Structures are given as C-alpha cells and as structure tokens.
Chain A
C-alpha cells in the first residue's frame, strides 16, 4: 500500500494542463514537419509553416497555442496499491483544472447547464475524468485539452456487422468530409471500434493519446489506419481547409470486443493543435 496525498494530484493536473497548452508535443511537431515535405499546395505549406511558427511562439511566450484551451479531458491510471489521502480524488482533479485556468491564464470554456442557462462555470471545471485501475502503485495522469472546433465534428455510428470494414472506412471518410475546414485541419483521427456505444466513444478518445506515427501493434489494424488516412487525404481538404494533399496527419484506431449484432464506430477528430501532456506520481 502506498499513500498519495491528493494535493499531489492537484499539482500534477495543473502543471500538465498548462504545459499541454503551451508546448505542442514533439511528435505532433514532427508530424507537421513531415506534412510540410509532402504537401503539394503552396498555400497549404504556408499554413503548416504558420502552425510550426505558432508552436515556437507559444512555447517561448507561454501563451496558449490556441485560444480554445479546451475542456480538460483527464485520463488517470491508478495503481491498485495506491490509497489516496487528504480529500476526495474527484475534487482534487477539478482543483488542478481550476488552478491551471488561473495560473496559466487559460480560457473558461465550460457552461454548467447545457439545456437552459448555459452559465459559465468560471474556472473551466469540471474535468472530463476517466479513471482506470491498473496493477502497481503508480498514478499516471494524462491531460488532453480538447477544443470544441474538432470535438463538434466528431461522430458515432452503430453500423451493421455486414457493413464491415468498407462501411467503417466510408463512415470515417464521410465524417471528415462533412467537417471540412471546421476542425482546423490537418487533423488527427481517433477511431474507436467495438464495445458498446459509450465504450466506442471512450476508445476513440483514448486512441488520441497514442503518439503520432505510432501504429497499432496489430498489423492488420495498422494497415487499416493507413488505409483510412489515405482515403481521408484523397478528399483534398488540405491544411486550413484551403485545398491540399494533407488533411490527416495520422489515424489511431483501437478496437474492443463487442456484441455479435454490433459494429460500433466512433470517430473523434483532433485538431492540428493536438495537445496532451503526461506525468506520474
């Protein structure tokens, strides 16, 4: 048994949420640089250069990469030997989000009652918290600030098993085509296949935690990821949506067992500002 005071959770969430907003992950920078080599459109290349320069300015000036500093999607792997002390875990996570909002001059982008008042919660809480119990005595936290431009273009379908892989690819491509320039291309795609409706949606976001250019370890799924990426790039949407050969920087697909009658497919679009940061206690 290892005791962890929840104040450490607050401090780590705050640090990760700020760092994610100021520093584009190196694998995302590398993906943008690779795209710059491949992009056929001159204007498309200028957009990519702008994004790379933006990342430099954000890191140097400690100003957020994007004004939409996002909802705080927080993924926590809790080692089952850990015992939290000092207060409720959930409150500690939200306190970390609020502290990041205050200390990092992030934007308050959360409304409390979506149906009626839509009043701003004022400190960007609550977090979209996902916890998973794992073996060991470490607490591993990943913060993924998620902007609405790309989140609003995400979709889920309960396909018929007979629609198969062709139906799955068509659904993903159609999702990106409908999104056009809205989600700030070039985008990343997290695709969750299987489970129940909710499980597929969570999988699609978990897929976005995988570093860019790291294929699914299953060879067949890795090939499917490339097939989806190439099909999406054939749409010609391009950087900024102004037309071009690179619309998608990478596809990460995760699958999970599902019902004999189901083929759930969730597509979570991530914008070019694919921010995330991970740390451990």
Chain B
C-alpha cells in the first residue's frame, strides 16, 4: 500500500486507470459527474434507445452521491458517497461505453468486478460519513441533466484534490476483501 496519494486528473486515460492498484490513495482534480439510482436508470434507457447522453462517458468518473442543497455562499451542501451496490445492474453497460472510474462505498457484484477488468476501469471509495469534509473539495457544482430528480439529478462537479481510495482495480484486486482477510480474527 502506498502512503503518498496519487494525483489524478479527470477525465482519466486508460493507461492511468490500469496503473492503479487496490489500496492506492488518490486525489482527484478536474470534472466528475454525479448519478444515483434514478439517473442511472435514465442513462441506460437512453443508451438502449440510442439517444444522446447528457455527457460523453469516455474517460469520465461518476460519483454516487445525492448532495444536500447548498446553503447561501456554498458550491454544494454535504456530499459523501452513497451505497454503490444499488447501481450494480447498470454499471457494466456504462463501463462498456467508456466510463473509466466510479466513486461510492460498499461491495460490488461479481459482474461489476468483471466489467472493471474487461474495460480497464477502477472502483474508488470515498469515506462514508465524511460529507462535510468532502464537500470542501468541490469548487463548482452545476446540474447538467434532469433537475426534476432533485438531489438525484446529474450534477457536474469541479473538484480539487478530492480524496478517494482504490478499492477494486482493473487487475481484479479488491481492498475490501484483502483488508478484511488481513484483520480477521478467529472467533
């Protein structure tokens, strides 16, 4: 495990995501997009109908988050990760369209793990419960699609040094599994 975080600039190159290893700490700077369950459902419907997506997926990062409303003077309210597994059924199709990294929390399905490897993508985790701290790294927040979904609308975030940890890499490495194994005690 590295001790120094790796700086990433979003959008990401395939070469970059392939070089990341489960357990790496990263600091992301650039543009990322938000999507939760409802937005994922709509993205998949658009892909299946051959429609135009609200943003081009190639090289992009999707952050699973539904922020609280911004109070006056702030870019966004609290903005920590939500549970990733709720969008497991949609993720492989988005990765096939070029999505290169996702940020959330919690275990993913075997299908997502396989799709990450197939497409050279990574699954990152942000610290769940740190929404106030993470929001400080979001400089700009703007709704780019489906404002009627409220907190579930797709937002574009401009982030600076947004901290995350590589949980599942493109080689099949999984920090949740290896970390748990390392510290598991016999009962």
Q: Which residues of A contact B170 (CB under 8 A)?
A: none
The verdict on A256 contacting chain B, using a C-beta distance below 8 Å, is no
User: Within the complex, what minimum Cβ distance (angstroms) separates B28 from chain A?
Assistant: 16
A216 CB → nearest B CB, Å = 22
A61 within 8 A of B: yes
Kindly report which residue of chain A lies nearest to residue B167, judged by CB atoms.
A242
Stretch at the interface among B11-19, B74-82, B94-102: B74-82
Contact between B132 and A180 (Cβ–Cβ < 8 Å)?
no
Residues in chain B near residue A148, CB distance under 8 A: 83
- Report B136 CB to chain A, min CB distance, Å: 7
Q: How far is the CA of A63 from the CA of B68 in the complex (A)?
A: 9
Q: Does A50 contact B (CB under 8 A)?
A: yes
A184 in contact with B71 (CB, 8 Å): no
Partner of A234, one of B23, B182, B184: B184
Q: Which chain A residues border B120 with CB–CB below 8 Å? A: none
Cα–Cα, bound, A63→B70 (Å): 9
Q: Are B127 and A51 in contact, CB atoms less than 8 angstroms apart?
A: yes
User: B1, B65, B70, B83 — which one has the most chain A CB atoms within 10 A of its CB?
Assistant: B83
Q: Which one of A57, A66, A67 lies within 8 Å of B136 (CB-CB)?
A: A57
The reply to whether the CB of B49 lies closer than 8 angstroms to some CB of chain A is: no
- B178: chain A residues at CB < 8 Å are 243
Contact among B78, B106, B186 with A67 in the assembled complex (CB-CB below 8 Å): B78
Q: For residue B82, which residues in chain A have a CB less than 8 angstroms away from its CB?
A: 67-68, 149
Q: Which residues of B contact A68 (CB under 8 A)?
A: 66, 80, 82, 131
Given contact pairs A64-B132, A105-B77, A236-B179, A180 touches B68 in the complex (Cβ within 8 A): no
| Interchain CA distance A272-B107 in the complex, whole Å | 18
- The contact string, 1 if C-beta is below 8 Å from chain B, for chain A 125-151, is 000000000000000000000001100
Given contacts A54-B133, A65-B129, A105-B70, contact A182 B165 (CB under 8 A): no
A105, A235, A238, A242: the one contacting B69 at CB < 8 Å is A105
Contacts A107-B69, A181-B176; A273 near B129 (Cβ below 8 A): yes
Check if A172 is an interface residue, CB within 8 A of chain B: no
CA distance A164 to B80 in the complex (A): 39
Q: Is the CB of A157 closer than 8 A to any CB of chain B? A: no
A197 near B: Cβ within 8 Å?
no
Contact yes or no, B181 A236, CB < 8 A: yes
| A181 close to B106 (CB less than 8 A) | yes
* Given A120-B150, A241-B176: A67 in contact with B77 (beta carbons within 8 A): yes
Q: Does B151 contact A (CB under 8 A)?
A: yes
User: In the bound complex, do residue B85 and residue A66 qualify as a contact, i.e. CB atoms below 8 Å apart?
Assistant: no
Contact between A66 and B78, CB atoms less than 8 A apart: yes
Closest chain A CB from B106 CB (angstroms): 4
| B71 proximity list for chain A (CB < 8 A) | 62-63, 105
Chain B nearest CB, measured from A118 CB (Å): 8
Nearest A residue to B74, CB-CB: A63
Check A69 for interface membership: any CB of B closer than 8 A. yes
Which of B83, B131, B187 has a CB less than 8 Å from the CB of A152? Answer: B83
CB distance from A101 to the nearest CB of B (A): 9
Q: Is the CB of A271 within 8 A of B129?
A: yes
CB contacts (< 8 Å) of B74 on chain A: these are 63
Cβ B132 vs Cβ A54 within 8 A: yes
Q: Is A47 an interface residue (CB 8 A)?
A: yes
**B residues touching A (Cβ–Cβ < 8 Å)?**
1, 3, 23, 65-71, 74, 77-80, 82-83, 85, 105-107, 125, 127-133, 135-136, 150-151, 163, 165, 167, 175-176, 178-187
- A-B contacts, 27 of them at CB < 8 A, read A43-B165, A43-B179, A50-B163, A51-B130, A54-B129, A64-B78, A66-B132, A67-B67, A67-B78, A69-B78, A105-B68, A109-B151, A149-B106, A173-B187, A180-B180, A181-B106, A182-B106, A184-B128, A236-B180, A236-B185, A240-B105, A240-B125, A241-B105, A243-B175, A243-B176, A243-B181, A272-B128
Closest 4 CB pairs of A and B: A243-B179, A236-B183, A184-B128, A236-B184
Instruction: Give the interface of A toward B (CB within 8 A).
Output: 40-43, 47, 50-51, 53-55, 57-58, 61-69, 105-109, 120, 148-149, 152, 173, 180-182, 184, 231, 233-238, 240-245, 271-273
